[in-house]
Amino acid sequence: MKVIIRNNAAEGSLWAAHYIADKIREKAARTDEPFVIGLCTGSTPIETYAELIRMVKAGELSFKNVISFNMDEYVGLPEEHPESYHSFMHRYLFDHIDEKPENIHILNGNAADVEAECAAYEKAIVDAGGFDLFLGGVGEDGHIAFNEPFSSLESRTRVVTLTQDTREVNARFFDGDFNKVPKQALTVGVATVLSSKEVVILAFGSKKARALKDAIEGPMSHYCTLSGLQAHPAGTIVADENSVGELKLNSYRYFKAVEEAESK
Ligand code: GLP
């Protein structure tokens, strides 16, 4: 695992956007096969998406041969609701880039048969060739996508019940009203994320410090599902000074030194 530490969220977001853009361009330069990317929602990736949009508008990057799969969606929230992850993704990314509509995949939280929806999603990912890169965030309790504490690290796409904590944290998007936050969601599993060739997780701010401490220094455990990244051969956490505030000084120095050595 690598941890890239930047001074603040703005610098971390730029790093991530340029890293992703380089990966898309590198693949486009060597093959006609599409670049398959996993995408996330939440307040954290917004600045990364803004920089990707800027690059597309400046002609520096294209999503024409990119296929995306979002990680999660609430169950029972109409797609047109402003806080559905469908609305979020169009507002902050898809409406401003050149990705083909047929290449955009987001779980349907209103499917009549949600189990069939989840199984079809896993199959569509395989049919697309599997993920080249999965971009994720992390919840304050260390959850990745909506894989709440005690989700199996072998989990795949499925229906989940959200924890009280997550619903309280996400109430800020629903007029501060906990009761308006859906109780269930569809989410890719921990193993679905980890099936990607590469995983990049964004985590900024002191509210994420405990999650990063557990994920990076703690044991690999279903208690903190991001800790599953420890077993991945190409996992990167993009952090800022605040989100690594609870790491041991030696861990902090190690990650800084590795980055410095590799950039020479
Ligand atoms: C939700 C999403 C996660 C996201 C998390 C963090 O729970 N399902 O994918 O990582 O929120 O959100 P934020 O970036 O707003 O802190």
Distance 29 CA to ligand 1 centre (A): 33
What angle is formed at CA 43 by the lines to CA 38 and CA 46, rounded to 5 degrees? 65
Does any ligand 1 atom lie closer than 6 A to the CB of residue 203?
no
Q: Is the CB of 146 under 6 A from ligand 1?
A: yes
Is the dihedral angle over the CA atoms 132, 138, 144, 145 positive or is it negative? negative
The string of pLDDT tens digits covering residues 84-131 is 999 999 999 999 999 999 999 999 999 999 999 999 999 999 999 999
pLDDT, residue 264, reads: 82
| Pair 192, 156: CB distance under 8 Å | yes
The answer to whether 3 touches 255, Cβ cutoff 8 Å, is yes
**Total residue count of the chain as it appears in this document:** 264
The total number of structural domains in the chain stands at 1
CATH number of the domain at 45, please: 3.40.50.1360
Q: Ligand 1: does its nearest atom lie under 6 Å from the Cβ of 142?
A: no
Q: Is 143 a catalytic residue?
A: yes
Domain assignment of residue 163, given as a range? 2-263
* Catalytic-residue membership of 148: yes
Identify the H or E element spanning 42. none
Is residue 137 in contact with ligand 1, taking CB distance under 6 Å?
A: yes
- The whole-model pTM stands at 0.97
Tokens representing residue 213 in the block: 């401490």
Q: pLDDT tens, position by position, for the chain (264 residues)?
A: 999 999 999 999 999 999 999 999 999 999 999 999 999 999 999 999 999 999 999 999 999 999 999 999 999 999 999 999 999 999 999 999 999 999 999 999 999 999 999 999 999 999 999 999 999 999 999 999 999 999 999 999 999 999 999 999 999 999 999 999 999 999 999 999 999 999 999 999 999 999 999 999 999 999 999 999 999 999 999 999 999 999 999 999 999 999 999 988
Structure token pair of residue 204: 């900024």
Pick the catalytic residue from 73, 148, 240, 246: 148
Give the position, in ligand 1's atom list, of the atom nearest the Cα of 166. Answer: 7
